[in-house]
Amino acid sequence: MSGTLAFDATDSETAGKPTVTSVARNANWELWGSSTASGPETRLATGITSYRDGTFHACAPADRPMAQLRVKFLSSSTKTWRVVSDARSLQEYSFFSATRPGTSGAQQVGTVKVPAEMALAWKTVDTTNKLWWSRANTQTPCWTRTEAVGQCTQLTYVWKNDGKKGSWWDGGTGYVMLAGLDPRSQHLVLHEAGHFFLSKLYGRNVPQVTDCNPHPMDRRTSETCAVWEGFPDAVAAYVMGDRRYVFSDGAVTDFDQPNDWQTGDQVEGRVVGAFLDLWARGGPDGGTWDRTVEAMTTSHPGTFRDYWLKARPAAGLPVTGQARSIVENHTIRY
């Protein structure tokens, strides 16, 4: 059975927040079949949709003739990330395609749509690909090189279609608690995943963060808060390829430093702008964040000051010339 897995969901990143049809890439599927029309089903094969276009090709073993077949789709990608309905059962969302008669040949089932009430779970699965593809780790099949083969932590989103807003990363469980409407924004999903990612880079050395509730992007909070929230903001913008943060209601914060923002390294938005300019094409870090990811892994800076004065020099990243001009342009001076 071959086809394409797709979902319809609100796109907060586009003006007017239209409903857009997108393919679900790297999403898990299972092929189930029964040898008789009323007999019990057996799982025959597993796989993931194409990372390019969301297509799937689910094949039953040739030596096991089936009376009927159908494909089960799950809100997860291998064992690397998943969306579950609650933090206790950790039950993934799932649904089946239409049942087809078993045959010895190929069946093209066309586009299979995720049920509307589950669509944002698969949008979350698909959005997370962008961080996975950018994670700057070629040493292990895990999120970061701090984890060895066979010991990878699965990124878990706990999501319910309850119409609410207000998401966070839970440091106790390590789960992203994702509110019902929030996955409409890819930036928001990637920001919360960025907290998980940073916690994996730091291992057991996550810094104590102060004065961070609330944390307006344009006002001073604390040096620790500005980095703890600013780095995930930068994660979202970097992997999305832009310079903004988009909320689930479509509101946008532009990190090209509006004049009415407060100044210094206690301001989340200033820290984000500095990170993005350091990583930008033509910038001092070679157009990539890879060496900053390495610096975070080895030095665990708790503030932007620590990142600038300790982590960057230790990683061989420049702190003079163009790099210094960038940071000072974002009102951060040491």
Q: Which string of b and e fits 222-232 if b means at least 16 CB within 10 Å? A: bbbbbbbbbbb
Question: pLDDT tens digits for 193-233?
Answer: 999 999 999 997 888 999 999 999 999 999 999 999 999 99
In this predicted model, what pLDDT tens digit does every residue of 117-165 receive, in sequence order?
999 999 999 999 999 999 999 999 999 999 999 999 999 999 999 988 8
DSSP class of 20: E
Choosing among 2.40.160, 1.10.3470, 2.60.40, 1.10.287, the CATH entry for 2-115 is: 2.60.40
DSSP type of residue 259: T
pLDDT at 258 over 80: no
Average pLDDT, stretch 297-307?
A: 97
pLDDT at 134: 98
Question: Is the pLDDT at 246 greater than 80, yes or no?
Answer: yes
Please tell me the least confidently modeled range out of 65-69, 115-119, 246-250.
65-69
pLDDT (mean) for 57-82 = 93
117 is catalytic: no
Query: CA angle, corner 195, sides to 8 and 92, nearest 5?
Result: 45
- The secondary structure of residue 267, as a DSSP letter, is B
Check whether 259 has a pLDDT greater than 80: no
Those residues whose C-beta lies under 8 Å from the C-beta of residue 47, and which sit 6 or more positions away, are: 28, 29, 56, 57, 58
Q: Rounded distance, CA 201 to CA 196, Å?
A: 9
**Phi and psi angles of residue 130, each rounded to the nearest 5 degrees, phi first:** -65, -35
The token pair that represents 137 in the structure block: 């780790």
Which stretch of 62-76, 268-282, 301-315 has the lowest confidence by average pLDDT?
62-76
Which two structure tokens, joined as six digits, stand for 157? 């989103």
Which residue among the candidates 13, 41, 192, 229 is catalytic per the annotation? 192
> Worst-scoring range by mean pLDDT, 21-35, 248-262, 286-300?
248-262
Predicted local confidence at residue 104, as pLDDT: 67
- d(CA 165, CA 42) in angstroms, rounded, equals 39
Percent of the chain with pLDDT over 90: 90
CA distance 212 to 271: 15
DSSP 3-state of 126:
helix
Query: Residue range 241-249: average pLDDT?
Result: 97
* Residue 85 · residue 93 · CB < 8 Å: yes
Would you call 69 helix, strand, or coil by DSSP?
A: strand
DSSP string computed for 225-253: HHHHHHHHHHHHHHHHTSSEEE-TTS-EE
**Cis preceding-peptide flag for 214 (omega within 30 of 0):** yes
Helix-helix angle 186-202:119-133, to 10 degrees: 50
Q: Kindly list the domain boundaries of the chain, sorted by start residue.
A: 2-115, 207-334
pLDDT band at 63 (very low <50, low <70, confident <90, very high): confident
**Rounded average pLDDT over 284-311:** 97
Pairwise pLDDT comparison (52 vs 38), residue with the higher score: 52
Residue 31: the pLDDT is 97
